[in-house]
């Protein structure tokens, strides 16, 4: 069996397994896993820029929030339906990605991290300042009546799980295609040695801008889905910790691996869930586990797996 066929089969098996869990898991874990899949979409968008292109952003909360508010604000204020609002969310994410990319990509390294962080902070403050529209820190809920699509009720746990799975599967398939496409290989080449890629004739700035816009759009899709499936948009999702979280998820799962962001998100979600049952100081336990993993598994969980299965994208 060819390497490509093996990779397709493995990812298809993962998706099939996740789909089957809808009819196996109790409601509590089904809700958790739906949330993990949505957050993993966000992490996959982050991974496209960080893991594959080598650009460490500290401002992805801006794109997540752009998707969240891009969906929730038109629904709340204009009465837009869920499907067109989702389209508006993707556009908002892409537009933010383009604006940030055009300015932040003039810098590199630490400066890039700081510039992206500043953009995200500006976005967070803008949400607070525009409280008349966004209801600031408090945020607002999206009524259950509005969370219907094609006759399906997204507040129903099974439907919500399947909607989260469908988005996760679609993004995984698109990114699977992208990273195996010649353009995806150019992103990896830029990560490995940008100057060399430029000397082979690649417009690396244009490619990095494209990666930023795609990454922001995928992150926005995660934000929009989070708002649609869980019925809430709030400024806390635009705060700095939501820029740090996808970095942690991706590092834990394996940067530059396709499934790594999902594995990292799942691991950290349940680590915190378990630690919260053990002690009120649950973040201490979670932090300790993260330090140990980073020390002994710097390439991440899927990075370790790919060390053995080199055909994994």
Partner 1 sequence: MLEVEAIEAGYGPVRVLRGLGFSVGIGEILCLTGRNGAGKTTALRAVMGLLPLTAGQVRLGGTVVSGLPAHRVPRLGLGYVPQGRRLFGPMTVAENLEIGLQARGGRPPRGRQGALAHALARFPRLRERLGQRADTLSGGEQQMLAIARALCLEPRVLLLDEPTEGLQPSMIAAIRDVVKGLKDEGVAVVLVEQRIEAILSVADRVAFVEGGRVRETVAAAALGADPALLAARLGV
Verify binding: residue 308, partner 1, rule CB under 8 A: no
Stretch that binds partner 1, among 109-117, 124-132, 179-187, 263-271 (CB under 8 A): 179-187
54 contacts 284 by C-beta, under 8 angstroms:
no
- Of 85 and 211, nearer to partner 1 (C-beta) is 211
CB 116 to partner 1: min, Å: 24
C-alpha 289/C-alpha 284 separation (Å) is 9
- Write down the least CB distance from residue 53 to partner 1, Å: 13
Q: Half-sphere exposure of residue 184, counting CA atoms within 13 Å on the CB side?
A: 16
Cβ proximity to partner 1: between 246 and 256 the closer is 256
Closer by beta carbon to partner 1, 186 or else 286: 186
| Owner of token pair 């400066």 | 111
Q: How far is the CB of 189 from partner 1 (least distance, A)?
A: 5
Contact flag: residue 204 with partner 1 (CB under 8 A): yes
Rounded to a whole number of angstroms, the minimum distance from the CB of residue 185 to partner 1 is 6
Greatest CA separation found in the chain? 59
177 near partner 1 (CB under 8 A): no
Q: Which is nearer to partner 1, 182 or 280 (CB)?
A: 182
Looking at 75, 96, 154, 186, which residue binds partner 1 (CB under 8 A)? 186
Please identify which residue in 182, 278, 280, 296 interacts with partner 1, judged by CB under 8 A: 182
Give the x/- contact pattern for partner 1 in 135-174, rule: CB under 8 A: ----------------------------------------
Q: How far is the CB of 263 from partner 1 (least distance, A)?
A: 19
For position 108 contacting partner 1 by CB under 8 A, the verdict is: no
Q: Which neighbouring-strand residues pair with 233?
A: 140
Question: In whole angstroms, how far apart are CA 273 and each of 26, 277, 279, 286?
Answer: 16, 7, 11, 9
For residues 184 and 202, what is the distance between their CA atoms, to the nearest angstrom?
Answer: 13
- CA 166 – CA 214 distance, rounded (Å): 19
- Cβ distance to partner 1 smaller for residue 151 or 182: 182
What stretch of H or E contains 149? Answer: strand 148-149
Region at 21 (left for phi over 0; alpha for psi -120 to 50; beta for the rest): alpha
Between CA 215 and CA 233 the distance in angstroms is 21
Interface residue with partner 1 among 27, 138, 153, 192 (CB under 8 A) is 192
Nearest to 65 by CA among 181, 197, 224: 224
Q: Which residues are at the interface with partner 1 (CB under 8 A)? A: 182, 185-186, 188-189, 192-193, 195-204, 310
């Amino acid at each position: 069996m060819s390497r490509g066929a093996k990779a397709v089969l493995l990812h298809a098996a993962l998706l099939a397994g996740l789909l089957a869990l809808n009819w196996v898991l109790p409601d509590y874990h089904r809700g958790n896993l739906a949330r993990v899949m949505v957050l993993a979409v966000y992490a996959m968008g982050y991974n496209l820029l960080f893991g594959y292109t080598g650009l460490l952003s500290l401002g992805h909360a801006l794109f997540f929030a752009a998707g969240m508010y891009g969906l929730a604000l038109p629904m709340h204020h204009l009465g837009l339906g869920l499907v067109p609002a989702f389209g508006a969310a993707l556009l908002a994410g892409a537009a933010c990605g383009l604006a940030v990319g055009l300015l932040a990509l003039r810098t590199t390294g630490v400066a890039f991290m700081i510039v992206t962080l500043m953009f995200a902070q500006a976005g967070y403050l803008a949400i607070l300042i525009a409280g008349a529209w966004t209801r600031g820190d408090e945020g607002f809920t999206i009524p259950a009546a509005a969370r219907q699509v094609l006759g399906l009720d997204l507040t129903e746990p099974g439907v919500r799980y399947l909607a989260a799975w469908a988005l996760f599967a679609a993004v995984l398939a698109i990114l699977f295609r992208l990273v195996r496409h010649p353009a995806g290989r150019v992103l990896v080449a830029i990560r490995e040695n940008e100057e060399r890629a430029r000397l082979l004739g690649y417009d690396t700035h244009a490619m990095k801008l494209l990666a930023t816009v795609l990454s922001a759009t995928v992150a926005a899709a995660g934000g929009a889905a989070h708002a649609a499936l869980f019925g809430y948009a709030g400024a806390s999702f635009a705060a700095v910790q939501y820029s740090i979280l996808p970095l942690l998820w991706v590092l834990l799962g394996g940067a530059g691996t396709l499934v790594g962001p999902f594995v990292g998100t799942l691991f950290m979600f349940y680590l915190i869930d378990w630690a919260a049952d053990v002690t009120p100081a649950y973040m201490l336990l979670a932090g300790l586990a993260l330090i140990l993993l980073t020390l002994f598994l710097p390439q991440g969980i899927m990075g370790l797996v790919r060390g053995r299965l080199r055909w994994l994208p």
